[in-house]
């Protein structure tokens, strides 16, 4: 097999990024936008030692799981991976991938609980970061590139996002405002940033700029207010003048309203700032947190919430718990977490700014004990040093691990097993329908 060969494939599995997998002469071939059960002819694009990449030339026999994609840019945009199959099949694929990965990498024979499927696979995202292209065009990066694809009314987003984006694009064109160029580090507009509180109908609009001011900003604010009405609670300029692919800079300039919006999650009023971590799917986050609480059994217990963000998961359990201590490295999120506790009248919680591993060491020296430790790390998972500190110094009876990457969860499962903790149960939760991502919440119990 070599580049540009046309080969015949039967798609039998799906990879972690949503590509279909077929076997040709014993070698795995990855083909995007295919479905299990497809029989296709494919053009080989790249051949490695043990696998290859290809693209579909013709669908000879379509999978029974196929459906008509309901988005005009689906095949070019990098946002969705599964708009060409029905949602039930997507959920089954995610369930199987979680199981296979935990068996293979997590070295466990335990099967997952049934996946908690989304209440709706559309209109669920409460956050969007659009790169700005020439003429103020908003879109998403194509797969494996920095080429922006105009998206129009994205079906993952609430309709108010499209309305706000349309106002912004018209404003950019009317006043001919320059757009940032990554190669030359010139131009002003970098990203258009939106956050939304589903239960409060509050909207934040952010404009990320390569500079310190936006021409005609008062005009933009007026146009946004006219179009969005009372939903618009915050308009912010975010200053990012660094040569970086990190979206947000450190400095925010308030143009209108508040520096934050509110939402309500699991009965807790939550304050959200531009830098705050907040789960992008409100309804499914509530279901995930309820599963985490089921695993934690927080009644009368001391809870240590590491990687706590704006404190949402710990605060959702605080009214039943004896105490909650949260740890988060983003200072703005810690500020929001402490305010969230105060505004909800929750007096048994405190939040610490710092690296999770170092903060855990600090709490150990304060002789802080924990009955339950909640781990909700970024995609890279937990540092082994942190897991050792949790297991050896806090020695909680229960660890509840919320993961956005089953591969790193599997790695950390092996480490935790070696530290005396047994995986008792784990449940996939589909927070990100139509994408390849899937959350998993797990319960580890100390082995006596």
Q: Which CATH superfamily is domain 6-66 in?
A: Nucleic acid-binding proteins (2.40.50.140)
Active site residues: 404
Q: How confident is the model at residue 238 (pLDDT cuts 50, 70, 90)?
A: very high
Kind of pairing, strands 139-141 and 261-265? unpaired
Cα gap 50→344, rounded to integer Å? 55
Per-residue pLDDT tens over the stretch 171-181:
999 999 999 99
Q: How many CB atoms lie within 10 A of CB 174?
A: 13
Return mean pLDDT, the chain: 94
Q: pTM (2 decimals)?
A: 0.92
- Poorest-confidence range of 141-155, 232-246, 282-296? 141-155
421 versus 144: the higher-pLDDT residue is 421
What pLDDT does 146 receive?
Answer: 77
Domain boundaries, the chain: 6-66, 92-119+281-446, 127-265
Measured CA distances, 259 to 141, 251, 272, 429 (Å): 28, 12, 9, 31
Query: Among 95, 119, 203, 197, which Cα is nearest to 440's?
Result: 95
Do domains 6-66 and 127-265 share one topology? The answer is: yes
What pLDDT does 148 receive?
Answer: 85
CATH number of 92-119+281-446: 3.40.50.150
Half-sphere exposure of 386 (CA within 13 A, CB side): 22
Q: Which CATH architecture has domain 127-265?
A: Beta Barrel (2.40)
With 0-12 / 13-18 / 19 or more C-beta atoms within 10 angstroms meaning exposed / middle / buried, residue 365 is exposed
What percent of the chain shows pLDDT beyond 90? 85
What pLDDT does 358 receive?
Answer: 80
């Amino acid at each position: 097999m070599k580049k540009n060969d046309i080969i015949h494939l039967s798609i039998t599995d799906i990879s972690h990024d949503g590509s279909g997998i077929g076997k040709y002469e014993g070698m795995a071939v990855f083909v995007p936008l295919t479905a299990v059960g497809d029989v296709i002819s494919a053009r080989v694009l790249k051949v490695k030692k043990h696998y290859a990449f290809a693209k579909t030339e013709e669908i000879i026999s379509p999978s029974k799981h196929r459906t008509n994609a309901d988005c005009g840019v689906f095949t070019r945009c990098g946002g969705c991976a599964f708009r060409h199959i029905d949602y039930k099949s997507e959920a089954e694929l995610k369930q199987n991938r979680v199981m296979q990965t935990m068996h293979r990498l997590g070295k466990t024979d335990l099967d997952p609980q049934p996946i908690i499927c989304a209440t709706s696979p559309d209109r669920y995202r409460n956050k969007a970061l659009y790169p700005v292209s020439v003429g103020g065009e908003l879109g998403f990066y194509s797969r494996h590139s920095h080429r922006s694809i105009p998206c129009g009314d994205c079906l993952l987003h609430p309709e108010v996002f499209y309305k706000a984006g349309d106002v912004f694009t018209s404003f950019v064109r009317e006043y001919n405002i320059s757009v940032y160029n990554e190669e030359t580090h010139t131009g002003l507009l970098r990203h258009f940033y939106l956050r939304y509180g589903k239960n409060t109908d509050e909207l934040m609009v952010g404009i990320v700029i390569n500079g310190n001011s936006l021409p005609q900003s008062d005009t933009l604010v007026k146009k946004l207010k006219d179009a969005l009405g009372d939903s618009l609670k915050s308009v912010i300029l975010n200053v990012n003048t660094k040569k970086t692919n990190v979206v947000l800079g450190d400095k925010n300039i308030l143009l209108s309203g508040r520096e934050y919006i509110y939402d309500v999650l699991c009965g807790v009023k939550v304050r959200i700032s531009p830098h705050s971590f907040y789960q992008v799917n409100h309804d499914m986050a509530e279901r995930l947190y309820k599963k985490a609480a089921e695993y934690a059994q927080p009644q009368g217990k001391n809870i240590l919430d590491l990687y706590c963000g704006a404190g949402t998961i710990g605060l959702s359990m605080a009214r039943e718990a004896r105490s909650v201590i949260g740890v988060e490295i983003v200072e703005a999120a810690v500020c929001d977490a402490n305010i969230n506790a105060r505004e909800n009248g929750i007096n048994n919680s405190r939040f610490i700014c710092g690296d999770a591993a170092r903060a855990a060491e600090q709490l150990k020296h304060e002789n802080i004990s924990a009955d339950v430790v909640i781990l909700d790390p970024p995609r890279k998972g937990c540092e082994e040093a942190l897991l050792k500190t949790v297991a050896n110094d806090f020695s909680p009876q229960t660890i509840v691990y919320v993961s956005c990457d089953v591969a790193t969860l599997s790695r950390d499962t092996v480490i935790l097993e070696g530290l005396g903790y047994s995986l008792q149960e784990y449940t996939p939760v589909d927070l990100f329908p139509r994408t390849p991502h899937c959350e998993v919440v797990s319960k580890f119990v100390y082995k006596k």
